[in-house]
Amino acid sequence: MTVAAGAESRRPAKPRPSLAIPIGLVTFAVITWISVSREFGIDLNLGELAENITRGARILVREDTNPADRGLLNPNWVFLTETAEPMLETFAMAVLASVMGCGLALPVSFLVSRVTAPNGLVLSIGRAILSVIRAIPDILYALLFVAAVGVGPLPGILALLFFNIGVTVKLLSETVDGVDPGPIEAGRASGATGMQTTRWAVVPQILPNYVAYSLYVFELNIRASTVLGIVGAGGIGRMLYREYGFFHWSNVSVIIVELFVMVFLIELVSIWLRRRLV
């Protein structure tokens, strides 16, 4: 078959240039300008930023005869013994909140998943309630419970409990939505009830993710309890805020190192458990 000379030399039309990238860049520049402007944003002053950028060096490497008054890079390891009790309290708060929150989140996640929800009404009401729970930050929960039950670890545990339920149910319900439907159809075809189908066809598929989410929430609890302690919800956060208020940076450094080590060890345990369950 021969091809005409005109058809052989014809080239496809060049596509028109897209305006998406220029429009996106202009939009980004406008939003950034509004955010840093004095009238609408945070009033970012680059001159003051450049002038004060070296102030942090004194906090990092400050030397002093008093170990507590040294910089962040010179931890006062003698202070480590004083942090043992509040750090243990933080760990206990995180454990209790994780066990209760993740334990409640498992059955609730089945009620707000399209795959396992009993009906559309339960699905809609459950998701609406969980949206409200997730919309409230953990620090606000802590303030409410401190006002209700007083200062101490109890309001911190209650605040973390609601925070855990919101996070874990969101992650786990989406995992349930993506499970393999084959075992579920086989269970229903064999006459299994909804609860039996969930137990034997869904739970084995989501178990590794459930363990991973639970340990992830436990890590979040360690970090969040540090912040909650500032408002009186117990834990190491109260001591951290106190040392920060006195500018004892070397003591603050010790607490930061402790939190890092604890979260790192939790991550190692999480990796080991996930490998055993997969």
- Give the whole-number percent of the chain exceeding pLDDT 90: 32
Q: Give mean pLDDT, residues 55-73.
A: 78
Taking the C-alpha atoms of residue 117 and residue 108, their distance in angstroms, rounded to an integer, is: 10
Q: Which residue has the higher pLDDT, 7 or 196?
A: 196
Q: How far apart, in Å, are the Cα atoms of 36 and each of 40, 131, 237?
A: 8, 31, 32
Q: Give mean pLDDT, residues 73-88.
A: 90
- Whole-model pTM above 0.85? no
Q: Give mean pLDDT, residues 11-24.
A: 81
Q: Residue 227 pLDDT > 90, yes or no?
A: no
Taking each helix axis from N to C terminus, what angle separates 120-135 and 153-177, rounded to the nearest 10 degrees? Answer: 140
Q: Residue 255 pLDDT > 60, yes or no?
A: yes
Q: Which residue has the higher pLDDT, 229 or 82?
A: 82
Q: Give mean pLDDT, residues 78-95.
A: 91
The pLDDT-based confidence of 8 (bands split at 50, 70, 90) is low
Q: Residue 52 pLDDT > 80, yes or no?
A: no
Taking the C-alpha atoms of residue 132 and residue 129, their distance in angstroms, rounded to an integer, is: 5
Q: Residue 44 pLDDT > 90, yes or no?
A: no
Q: Give mean pLDDT, residues 265-269.
A: 85
Taking the C-alpha atoms of residue 228 and residue 220, their distance in angstroms, rounded to an integer, is: 12
Supply the mean pLDDT for the chain: 86
Listed by start position, the domains of the chain span 21-53, 77-277
Q: What is the pLDDT of residues 151-189, one digit of tens each?
A: 888 999 999 999 999 999 999 999 999 998 888 888 888
Taking the C-alpha atoms of residue 235 and residue 83, their distance in angstroms, rounded to an integer, is: 10
The pLDDT-based confidence of 61 (bands split at 50, 70, 90) is confident
User: Six-digit token pair at 81?
Assistant: 């013994």
> What is the pLDDT at residue 71?
83
> What is the pLDDT at residue 158?
92
Q: How far is CA 97 from the centre of its chain?
A: 15
CA angle 250, 248, 141 (to 5 degrees): 105
Q: Which residue has the higher pLDDT, 85 or 59?
A: 85
* Best CATH choice for the domain 77-277 from the list 1.10.600.10, 1.20.140.10, 3.40.950.10, 1.10.3720.10: 1.10.3720.10
Residue with tokens 């997969």: 278
Q: Residue 88 pLDDT > 70, yes or no?
A: yes
Q: Residue 231 pLDDT > 80, yes or no?
A: yes
> Which segment of 21-35, 59-73, 132-146, 257-271 scores lowest on mean pLDDT?
59-73
